[in-house]
Amino acid sequence: KNQVEQSPQSLIILEGKNCTLQCNYTVSPFSNLRWYKQDTGRGPVSLTIMTFSENTKSNGRYTATLDADTKQSSLHITASQLSDSASYICVVSAGAHYGGSQGNLIFGKGTKLSVKP
Amino acid sequence: DSGVTQTPKHLITATGQRVTLRCSPRSGDLSVYWYQQSLDQGLQFLIQYYNGEERAKGNILERFSAQQFPDLHSELNLSSLELGDSALYFCASSGRLAGGLSTDTQYFGPGTRLTVL
């Protein structure tokens, strides 16, 4: 069964500190892995997208890694800010892709990050 | 502002009823995706349309249906509503290039909050 599991479920850190969020998946066939940031009550915003051949991708203070062998990904946030408080969602795309299809998208339940002053 | 619009913002209805949610993608985007987000399930992918044709299907119930019109806007129809259908429904769009890419960034709308009483 295709699954995406994220840990921890929630995390509280102090402003300025770094943190790492984890994503483990059992999805086949794997196409790509995405990280989204979602503020409460709003639509998710894309942070990174990685294919099988990519093992790291950065977007400002966000750096995602992918280990396709162990089927693990992480999202590292550097020098956290209060505005980083949000849910971070890992999404893995499975299935064949043709003519614009992005396959079946399997979502993790997210990690809720709170950054305190 | 992602450029994706959804109407209505809020919808309150009774069990057994039918509702239609509407989504206008970003100008030029060819793909539209529908998602359901409930408190206990997290985000779930329902269905993707590309240039008017169904391209990928997730966990969409038989009571739910969608379509994409020639002007690329999309509608999600929910019928025989149950209490458990209460959720935030998001639409996203991507793919300004013909053919689309499996790694295209998806841009999410603000969502429609459906409450079934």
Residue pairs spanning A and B at CB distance below 8 A: 80
> Percentage of chain A with pLDDT > 70?
94
- Return the pLDDT at A101: 65
pLDDT in tens, B33-74: 999 999 777 889 899 998 899 988 888 999 999 999 999 999
Averaged pLDDT, B3-9: 96
Nearest to A62 by CA among A32, A90, A40: A90
Q: What percent of chain B has pLDDT over 90?
A: 70
Within 8 A of B47 by CB-CB distance, chain A residues are none
B38 contacts chain A (CB < 8 A): no
Alpha-carbon separation of residue A67 from A24, A48, A76 (angstroms): 10, 15, 14
**Residue B48 and residue A106: Cβ atoms within 8 Å?**
no
Confidence of residue B24 (pLDDT cuts 50, 70, 90): very high
Among A34-38, A111-115, B56-60, where is mean pLDDT lowest?
B56-60
The CA distances from residue A104 to A79, B6, B66, in Å, are: 34, 23, 16
pLDDT in tens, A58-109: 999 999 999 999 999 999 999 999 999 999 999 998 875 665 666 778 899 9
Q: Which residues of B touch A110 (CB under 8 A)?
A: 42-43
Number of Cβ within 10 Å of residue A16's Cβ equals 11
Preferred mutation among B5, B44, B45 to probe A, highest tally of A CBs within 10 A: B45
Q: What's the rounded Cα separation, in Å, for the pair B42 and A41?
A: 12
| Confidence tier at B102 by pLDDT (50, 70, 90) | low
Interface test with B, best of A102, A106, A109, A112 (most B CBs within 10 A): A102
How close A99 comes to chain B (CA, Å)? 5
Assess contact for A104 and B58: CB atoms under 8 A: yes
User: Distance, in angstroms, between A51 CA and closest chain B CA?
Assistant: 8
Q: Which residues of A touch B102 (CB under 8 A)?
A: 31-32, 93, 97, 101-103
Interface contact A95-B100, CB threshold 8 A: no
Q: Which is it for the CA torsion B53, B45, A32, A27, positive or negative?
A: negative
pLDDT the model gives residue B28: 86
State residue A30's pLDDT score: 87
User: Is the Cβ pair B102, A103 closer than 8 Å?
Assistant: yes
Least confident of A7-21, A79-93, B102-116: B102-116
Q: Contact, A90 vs A23, CB < 8 A?
A: yes
List of chain B residues whose C-beta atoms are within 8 Å of the C-beta of residue A108: 42
Six-digit token pair at A23?
């994503």
Cβ atoms of B102 and A103 closer than 8 Å: yes
Distance CA B115, CA B105 (A): 29
